[in-house]
Structure 1
Amino acid sequence: MIKGIYETHVQVSNLENAIQFYTEVLGLKLAYRDETRPIAFLWVGEGKEFMLGLWEQKENLQTRHFAFSCSKDDILNYSVEFLEKKNLKPYNFLKNGSAEPMVFAWMPALAVYFNDPDGNQLEFISVLDGEGRPELGVLSYEEWIQQTGQ
């Protein structure tokens, strides 16, 4: 019955700034802004595939994590440059100072991380073909190719 996750929500400290970040920087489309309360909804993807809700929270902001689905090629060839051009700091799961996308071998999936202005941890992720190899842990894409031949 369940086909996926349609919508998720995050808290933001300033709704106007968050709308600007997610629409102008990341390219999401504003779907609806509720004028009776501090909330906005954004479309993610083509059409009305997915939705992101932004809830303004002035006190006790609780940051969250979520991932945007991307193609492997976009992550490998474009994601880091895209983020840096937008003055965002990409980083990998290991937070070892490198912006190089990493593979979670258990899935397997390729990912790179960045934060929104409120510190919500965002991710570009692409599930890779083939079977997971949990014993390999988290490694670079080049190491993944060397280890698996995929």
Structure 2
Amino acid sequence: MIKGLYETHVQVSNLENAIQFYTEVLGLKLAHMDETRPIAFLWIGEGKEFMLGLWEQKENLQPRHFAFSSDKEDILNYSAEYLKNKNLKPYNFLKDESDKPMVFAWMPALAIYFNDPDGNSLEFISILEGEGRPELGVISYEEWLSKK
């Protein structure tokens, strides 16, 4: 029955600002806006493949996490620069205070994180070839390559 995840929703404090961030900064496309609720839906990718819902919540905002599928080479070569050029701070879980992507060895997957203006934790992620190595934890890409 399940073929994938089609949509997810996050709370935002200001719908107009969130629409601007997700469309102008990240390049998503506005699909529909319902000011009576208020909510906006944005297309992710081409051909209506995936959707993100933005729900305006003035009080008790509860930040969430979700990840965008990305190409490995884009994450390795452009993600930190791309995010910094958009005034976003890339981060990882390596505890090395760098903005380098990391590998979740159990998957394995390459990833880098950043936050939207409302504190939602966003991620660029790419599944890597090969078998997972859960015993390695979270490591740098260079370390992953040396352990393969």
TM-score of the superposed pair, with normalisation by structure 2: 0.98
Q: Could you say what the CA RMSD is over the residues aligned between the two structures, in angstroms?
A: 0.8
Change (3 A) 1:73 1:34: same
Inter-partner Cα distance in structure 2 for 1:96 and 1:32: 41
Aligned length: 148
How far residue 37 of structure 1 moved from its aligned partner, in angstroms, is 1.5
Moved over 3 A (4+): none
Q: Secondary structure at the match of 2:24?
A: helix
Q: Distance in 2 between matches of 1:77 and 1:56?
A: 34
CA distance in 2, matches of 1:134, 1:23: 36
* Counterpart in the other structure of 1:85: 85
| SS of corresponding position for 2:36 | coil
Deviations 1:6-31 (A, max 9, x none): 00000000000000000000000000
The alignment status of 1:66 with 2:91, answered yes or no, reads no
Q: Distance in 2 between matches of 1:61 and 1:40?
A: 16
Q: Secondary structure at the match of 2:88?
A: coil
1:111 and 2:111 aligned: yes
Equivalent residues of 2:101, 2:110 under 8 A apart: yes
Displacement of 1:5: 0.4
1:77 partner SS: helix
Percentage identity across paired residues of the two chains: 83
Deviation at 1:93, TM superposition (A): 2.4
Q: Which residue of structure 2 lines up, in the alignment, with residue 142 of structure 1?
A: 142
2:38 aligns to what? 38
Alpha-carbon distance in structure 2 between the residues aligned to 1:145 and 1:58: 45
Stretches of structure 1 lacking an aligned partner (at least 5 in a row)? none
Q: Counterparts of 1:109 and 1:47 in 2: how far apart (Å)?
A: 25
Answer yes or no: is the 8 Å Cα contact 2:94–2:140 preserved in 1. Answer: no
Separation in structure 2 between the aligned mates of residue 117 and residue 104 of structure 1, nearest angstrom: 25
Displacement of 1:96? 4.0
CA distance in 1, matches of 2:36, 2:147: 54
Q: Please give the TM-score of this superposition, normalised by the length of structure 1.
A: 0.97
**2:43–2:51: 8 Å Cα contact kept in structure 1?**
yes
Residue aligned with 2:143, SS? helix
Match of 1:51 in 2: 51
